[in-house]
Amino acid sequence: MAEAEPSKNLRRLVIGIAVIAAAAVAAVLALGRPTDPPSPPRPLPARSEGVEPRPDQTGPTPPAADAAVLSREDLLAAARAGAAAYAEGRDRPAEVDALAGRRFQLRIPFGCRGPQVPDPESTASWEVGPEGETLRVRVRPQVWTASPFAQMLAGPDVEAVEGFWIPRPWQTSEACPARTEDPLLAEAPPPSPQTVGIATVFGPESSRLGRRGDRPYELTLPLQEVARPTEQGLQLVLEGRIAPFGRAGAVACRSANPDQRPVCLIGTTIERVAVRDPASERLLGEWRDASTLTAPSPQPSSPAE
């Protein structure tokens, strides 16, 4: 029995050595196996050349000359912004100064209550001639040269300041007002004073063609060729560009005291003055650069006018 014990121990030693050798071989094989190469990075998607830019990547602002033509509503909005800034002691809004150089077209209705005898204080009026065969129209610009407000805007070298009031600035429509006197009022109050106008400053170097002074725009047309104005009256059409009053900007406002609505003038140069019949959409006459009258043709003009 004593001789069998060493033999048993020898077998155990051999088995242990075999196990260790097998583990070593497995480790060597594992270390020698090549590893998989790393996956290549995913390429970024190619940028399309036709992708629309984001709003914060838009191109430069188009020049003022290419912007939309300013309307009556636009001019009145600029005047309201200027009046609010003046009354509150703030600087002029940047969007008001940005109007410099923009084109405008303004249509002012007149003669809404029928024919009127020409009045030096009236901007525009129409009447039928004494023989009942002609239509007479008169448009007289306002002359503000002697106004301290206008002189302050124009500077020391001013020769003339002329312009037009925009009546009823609370109304955005370019048509005659639809409302008449209110019967509930025992006595009709006087008309509200004018508070918004467009003005042109004429200095020593300004062309005298645009100055009217005491020369109104006048038309005399045979009623056989043009219709008598209806309840829609006629329209005074003014076209030109916004021209700032120097350091005063495109819109200048003043008031005598805080309880009065500021009077605002919009600096302009007027390139065209015309008279239009809104009922027939016919052009009755026009003056280019405030000088030569262009008479209408017998055929009605295009609605685009």
pLDDT of residue 249: 93
Q: What is the pLDDT of residue 153?
A: 86
Burial code (b: 16+ CB inside 10 Å, e: under 16) for 140-150 equals: bbbbbeebeeb
Band the pLDDT of 99: cuts 50, 70, 90. Answer: very high
Q: Please tell me which residue, 120 or 55, carries the higher pLDDT value.
A: 120
User: Hey, where are the domains in the chain?
Assistant: 118-176+193-300
pLDDT at 280 over 70: yes
Per DSSP, what are the bridge partners of residue 165? 197
d(CA 299, CA 226): 10
- The amino acid that residue 22 corresponds to is A
Q: What is the mean pLDDT of residues 150-154?
A: 85
Q: Are 220 and 286 in contact (CB under 8 A)?
A: no
Alpha-carbon gap, residue 286 to 151, rounded angstroms: 29
Structure confidence by residue, pLDDT tens digits, 211-254 = 777 788 999 999 988 989 988 999 999 999 999 998 899 999 99
- In this structure, the strands spanning 196-202 and 263-277 are parallel
* Mean pLDDT confidence for 44-59: 33
Give the range with max mean pLDDT: 141-155, 207-221, 280-294: 141-155
Cβ distance 212 to 141 under 8 Å? Answer: yes
Rounded-to-integer distance, Cα 111 and Cα 126, Å: 6
DSSP single-letter state for residue 19? H
Query: Looking at the predicted structure, is the pLDDT value of residue 259 above 70?
Result: yes
Residue 87: is its pLDDT beyond 90? Answer: yes
Residue type at 190?
A: P
Percent of the chain with pLDDT over 70: 68
Give the torsion sign (CA, 7, 8, 12, 15). Answer: positive
Model confidence at 272, pLDDT cuts 50, 70, 90, reads very high
pLDDT class of 95 with cuts at 50, 70, 90: very high
CA 223 to chain centre: 39
The pLDDT value recorded for residue 48 is 33
Torsion 222-226-229-234 (CA) sign: negative
Q: How far apart are CA 114 and CA 125, in angstroms?
A: 9
- Residues 97-113, mean pLDDT to the nearest whole number: 94
- Is this structure's pTM higher than 0.75? no
196, pLDDT greater than 50: yes
Residue 110: other Cβ atoms inside 10 A: 22
